[in-house]
Structure 1
């Protein structure tokens, strides 16, 4: 599998734009997949620079209903008229972020796109194609990241803490390898891996995505929490590539413990697994 990072908070060079968001292009033996599409049309600009034709993408999976992962959806639907777009059935609910000044910002998706014919709602464990599936409904064995604080959902006119039932994770199996892709791991990366193990009786060979160990308004998770996660990830023997909401300081702490077991993916990066 070939993976190219179209959008991430950082970039490998000035040739590629970056923003607070995530978009990954994944090419298997016979499928072209996008996982998330960032906050804007930037994914399209970077795709052209990386020799990717968005019109050729077979599947788009959006990990959850936040703008930094699905803000480019309108642009994608203008560029690609054939791809199926898989979102959790709750992804178009109304999501907000409470800022330090007590201002509420809408951080959800464009509701006007909800009924587009290319969109397919998912839930729980959903099989997209041979060797490609998504899963949600994560069992909470460990606490969710504290950096979820201030992320809300509007329910019958009332603001409530978001439980991230709308978050889904992608699994791709090919040539005997299993790849797990997370968007933000709002449900907790340990919980997601434990849930995967409960479903499959094994750990994936590779894991790519954000682990939500930092948030711009509240800083990073504590040293003890990150150290605990690092040791857990090391014990799985999987190879990790992280990005976006993990944060650079938490990544550096993970890297200190995990060494070659973890690397960082910036906009413009390419890996083959």
Structure 2
């Protein structure tokens, strides 16, 4: 399996465009996968520089309904005419972030893309084939990111409430009965997502790739550092061979966890990993 970071907050070289967001190209034995599109069409430029032909993508996945993961979807649809687009069932609902001064900021996807016959909406578990499984409906409550408190959703009646992230989906890739997990921001909590994945495949995971949504944590707060300490303990003891984290984990949180988790690595725009 090959993973190429098409778009991430940081970059290995100034020749690539880098902003807040995430997009990964994943090549397996049977598929060429686009996992998220970043905030805009920048991933298209980077893909060209990295030798990735987006026309050949046969499966695209949008991990959840925030613009920094699906903002480039319209651009991808113009380039690629064949890929099925897998996306959470409520990804196109109204998603809101509270910023300074209690201002509500729209962080959702472009509803003008609906309807589209290429979209396949994921509710619980979809087994695409023997290689790929998509899953949502995470029940666990361990170490849910503190940053979720500022993220809201609005229903069809205009009722605004905390986002429950039912629109978040995750990918499992099977290589010779060894499974890798790809997630976007792990709003449901990376520990809970891993435990759900373990239950689905009845084994430990080989690789975990994705953001842990730890940006904005207060390192002077005993509550926040206790959260990170417990997270480090659980991630170090659950049988995962290697982690690659990125995007919403945040540089400070990554540095903190890197001191405690021996098998933790980071991704940047332009990185190519052969697994």
Q: Same fold (TM over 0.5)?
A: yes
| Equivalences for residues 156-235 of structure 1 within 5 A | 156-215=157-216, 222-235=224-237
* Residue segments in structure 1 that go unaligned for 5+ positions in a row: none
Q: Which residue of 2 aligns with 1:148?
A: 148
Tell me, in whole angstroms, the C-alpha distance in 2 between the residues paired with 1:173 and 1:14. 34
| Number of the residue aligned with 1:248 | 251
**Aligned-pair Cα RMSD in Å:** 1.3
Offset, 1:226 = 0.9
CA distance in 2 between counterparts of 1:219 and 1:25 reads: 32
TM-superposed deviation, 1:143: 4.2
Check the 8 A contact 2:141/2:189 in 1, yes or no: no
Q: CA deviation at 1:203?
A: 2.0
Determine the C-alpha separation between the residues in 1 that align with 2:268 and 2:208: 15
Aligned length: 270
* CA shift for structure 1 position 219: 5.2
CA drift of 1:222 comes to 1.2
Q: How far apart in 1 are the matches of 2:249 and 2:130? A: 30
Change (3 A) 1:24 1:219: farther
3-state SS of 1:18 partner: coil
How many Å separate the matches in 1 of 2:100 and 2:144? Answer: 21
Q: Secondary structure at the match of 2:260?
A: helix
Contact 2:95 2:152 in 1 (8 A): yes
What pairs with 1:256-271 in structure 2 (closer than 5 Å)? 256-259=259-262, 261-271=263-273
Whole-angstrom CA distance in 1 between matches of 2:171 and 2:31: 14
* Consecutive unaligned residues in structure 2, runs of 5 or more: none
In 1: Cα distance, 2:260 partner to 2:114 partner: 43
* Partner SS state of residue 46, structure 1: helix
- Cα separation, 1, equivalents of 2:201 and 2:80: 33
Deviation at 1:107, TM superposition (A): 0.4
Runs of 4+ in structure 1 off by over 3 angstroms are 218-221
Which residue is 2:129 aligned to? Answer: 129
Report which stretch shifted further, 96-105 or 61-70: 96-105
Instruction: Report the TM-score, using the length of structure 2 for normalisation.
Output: 0.95
Aligned partners of 2:64, 2:248: CA distance in 1, in Å? 14
SS in 2 for 1:3: strand
The TM-score with structure 1 as length reference comes to 0.96
TM-aligned CA deviation for residue 140 of structure 1: 2.3
Query: What CA distance in whole angstroms lies between the structure 1 residues aligned with 2:228 and 2:17?
Result: 29
